[in-house]
Amino acid sequence: MKKPVKIITMFLIVCNMLIFPCWLHISEAQEELTSNYWFKKGLEQAQQNNFDQAVEHYTKALEINPQNSAAYNNRGMAFSRKGNYDKAVDDYTKAIEIKPDLALAYNNRGLALGKKGDYKKAIADFTKAIEFDPDYAQAYYNRGNSQDEKGEFDKAVSDYTRAVTINPDYAQAYYNRGITLFKKGSIDTAIADFTKVLNLKPDFAQGYYSRGISWFKKEELDRAIADFTKALEINPRYAEAYYNRGIAWADKGDYDRGIADYTKAIQINPNPVWLKKRF
């Protein structure tokens, strides 16, 4: 009687071995039918800067679940990275229709509208994002950028200030506030902001360059030269820094060094459109 039991037991084991791989295969196939599966695939491709593939995967996610607001938002981001801002705006709008309180989608649509030059609508979207998330530092920062583009410097400074109040380590917000303050003629305050940036990001060549421009504006030529030099140590191909250091040397009467810096700037960039402006 024991022998048949052994045979039956072995038969059951063999059956389980045969059934389990089939069950695993079906599970993977079923997973591929889910919107979340394709959403994750899209996210993986976007993180690798493969935006065409990301769009394809997000589109598959939306075919399975047309109410996936995150997929619309992320596909919009992929379109934005491809430079297709009209399609990006359409996707962000769809995400907002599905989830009207999605602050991220308002922020992202504002960015796309800003790229299209529609700063008024961009500001409206950033404002909406802030309404839904009052501590959204990036939305304040982005609204500040749009205000600056419109020439609304006081409003821009206010938004950048709010951004750094929420996030005291927001280096780019300090930097942009410094640029706007420089435009307003508040040079000392701009220098303070550039210095704050450099405390947070010591290898930020542009921060040294901008502070150098500010020192130059105050006719602090030695300090300007020191900052331009530091910018060049970090980025030896920073043509603008060579050019402006050349001006500072010339203003000090050191024409040989000035000519050497001008020459280096031209070697790096023979067609320097940046000669027309400093910020």
Q: Has residue 31 got a pLDDT over 70?
A: no
Residue with tokens 């599905």: 98
Asked if the model's pLDDT at residue 20 lies above 60, the reply is no
Arithmetic mean of pLDDT over the chain: 90
Quote the pLDDT of residue 7: 36
Over residues 227-269, the pLDDT tens digits come to: 999 999 999 999 999 999 999 999 999 999 999 999 999 999 9
Name the pTM for this structure.
Answer: 0.85
Question: For 76-111, what is each residue's pLDDT tens digit?
Answer: 999 999 999 999 999 999 999 999 999 999 999 999
- Average confidence (pLDDT) over 38-61: 96
Going by pLDDT thresholds of 50, 70 and 90, the confidence category of residue 22 is: very low
Q: State how far the alpha carbon of 155 is from the alpha carbons of 149, 162, 197, 246, in Å.
A: 11, 11, 21, 35
pLDDT at 30: 54
Cα 56–chain centre separation: 22
Quick: pLDDT tens for 205-235: 999 999 999 999 999 999 999 999 999 999 9
Share of the chain above pLDDT 90, in %: 84
Q: Which domains does the chain have, with CATH numbers?
A: 209-279 (1.25.40.10)
pLDDT of residue 271: 84
Q: 1-5, 27-31, 115-119, 254-258: which range is least confident on average?
A: 1-5
Q: 248: how many CB neighbours lie within 10 A of its CB?
A: 27
Does residue 156 register a pLDDT over 50? yes
What's residue 27's pLDDT? 47
Reply yes or no on whether the pLDDT at 25 is more than 50: no
pLDDT of residue 5: 41
Radius of gyration over every alpha carbon of the chain, rounded to an integer in angstroms: 28
Residue 130 CA, chain-centre distance (Å), reads 18
Instruction: Give CA separation, 145 vs 84, 158, 173, 223, in Å.
Output: 21, 11, 9, 28
Q: Which residue has the higher pLDDT, 69 or 35?
A: 69
Q: Which residues contact 92 (CB under 8 A, 6 or more apart)?
A: 72, 73, 76, 105, 106, 108, 109, 112
Residue 265 contacts residue 239 (beta carbons within 8 Å): yes
Please list the alpha-helical segments (H only) found in 116-237: 119-132, 137-149, 153-166, 171-184, 187-200, 205-217, 221-234
Higher-confidence position of 277 and 181 = 181
- Going by the DSSP 8-state scheme, the letter that residue 3 receives in this structure is H
CA distances from 163 to 84, 104, 157, 184 (A): 28, 16, 10, 19
